[in-house]
Amino acid sequence: PSNPKTWRRPVISALELGGVKIARDDVVRDDPTNNVPDTIFSKLGLQLHRRDQHPLGILKNTIYDYFDTNYSNKFDKFDELCPIVSVKQNFDDVLVPADHVSRSYNDTYYVDSQTVLRCHTSAHQAELLRKGHTHFLVTGDVYRRDSIDSTHYPVFHQMEGFRVFSPDEWEASGVDGTSFAAEDLKKCLEGLATHLFGAVEMRWVDTYFPFTNPSFELEIYFQEKWLEVLGCGVTEQEILKRNGKLNNVAWAFGLGLERLAMVLFDIPDIRLFWSNDERFTSQFSKGQLGIKFKTFSKYPPCYKDMSFWINESFTENNLCEVVRGIAGDLVEEVSLIDNFTNKKGMTSHCYRIAYRSMERSLTDEEINGLQMSVREQVQSKLNVVLR
Ligand code: FA5
Ligand code: MG
Distance 255 CA to ligand 1 centre (A): 6
Buried b (16+ CB within 10 A) or exposed e, 241-267: eebebeebbbbbbbbbbbbbbbbbbeb
Q: Which helix (H) or strand (E) holds 367?
A: helix 364-382
Maximum Cα–Cα distance across the chain: 71
Alpha-carbon distance values, 95 to 119, 162, 213, 319 (Å) = 14, 16, 12, 30
Ligand nearest to the CA of 147: 1
Q: Where are the alpha helices (DSSP H) in 30-97?
A: 38-41, 55-70, 87-90
Question: Exposed, middle or buried by CB within 10 Å (0-12, 13-18, 19+), for 62?
Answer: middle
Alpha-carbon distance values, 87 to 24, 83, 161, 220, 338 (Å) = 20, 12, 21, 32, 37
Nearest CA to 236 out of 255, 209, 217 is that of 209
Nearest CA to ligand 1 atom 28: 152
pLDDT for res 10:
58
Q: Are 196 and 55 in contact (CB under 8 A)?
A: no
Nearest CA to ligand 1 atom 7: 254
On the question of a cis peptide bond just before residue 214, with omega within 30 degrees of 0, the verdict is yes
Q: Are 132 and 108 in contact (CB under 8 A)?
A: no
Pocket test for ligand 1, best of 230, 249, 260, 274 (most atoms within 8 A of CB): 230
The length of the chain, given as a count of residues: 387
Nearest CA to ligand 1 atom 2: 120
191 three-class SS = helix
Ligand nearest to the CA of 230: 1
pLDDT for res 65:
97
Question: Exposed, middle or buried by CB within 10 Å (0-12, 13-18, 19+), for 369?
Answer: middle
Q: Which helix (H) or strand (E) holds 235?
A: strand 225-235
- What does the alpha-carbon distance between residue 175 and residue 184 come to, in Å, rounded to a whole number? 12
pLDDT for res 9:
53
Ligand 1 binding pocket, CB closer than 6 Å: 120, 122, 144, 146, 152-153, 156, 158, 160, 209, 211-212, 228-233, 252-254, 256, 258-259
Q: Are 214 and 180 in contact (CB under 8 A)?
A: no
pTM: 0.91
Kindly give the confidence (pLDDT) of every residue in the chain, 387 residues in length, as a single tens digit, with 9 standing for 90 and above.
344 444 445 567 888 887 788 889 889 998 889 999 999 999 998 999 999 999 999 999 999 999 999 999 999 999 999 999 999 999 999 999 999 999 999 999 999 999 999 999 999 999 999 999 999 999 999 999 998 888 899 999 999 999 999 999 999 898 999 999 999 999 999 999 999 988 889 999 999 999 999 999 999 987 788 989 999 999 999 999 999 999 999 999 999 999 999 989 999 899 999 999 999 999 999 999 978 999 887 889 999 999 999 999 999 999 999 999 999 999 999 999 999 999 999 999 999 999 999 889 999 999 999 999 999 999 999 999 999
Q: Under the phi-then-psi rule, with left for phi > 0, alpha for psi from -120 to 50, and beta for the rest, what region is 3?
A: beta
CA atoms within 13 A on the CB side of 86: 7
Q: Are 107 and 317 in contact (CB under 8 A)?
A: yes
- What does the alpha-carbon distance between residue 316 and residue 334 come to, in Å, rounded to a whole number? 9
What ipTM was reported for this prediction? 0.98
Query: Per CATH, the architecture of 302-386 is what?
Result: 2-Layer Sandwich (3.30)
CATH number attached to the domain at 4-281: 3.30.930.10
- What does the alpha-carbon distance between residue 321 and residue 276 come to, in Å, rounded to a whole number? 22
Give the atom of ligand 1 at the shortest distance from the alpha carbon of 228: 21
Buried b (16+ CB within 10 A) or exposed e, 140-154: bbbbbbbebeeeebb
What string of DSSP letters covers 242-281? HTT-TT-EEEEEEEEHHHHHHHHHT---GGGGG---HHHH
Nearest CA to ligand 1 atom 33: 256
pLDDT for res 3:
46
Domain boundaries, given as residue ranges, for the chain: 4-281, 302-386
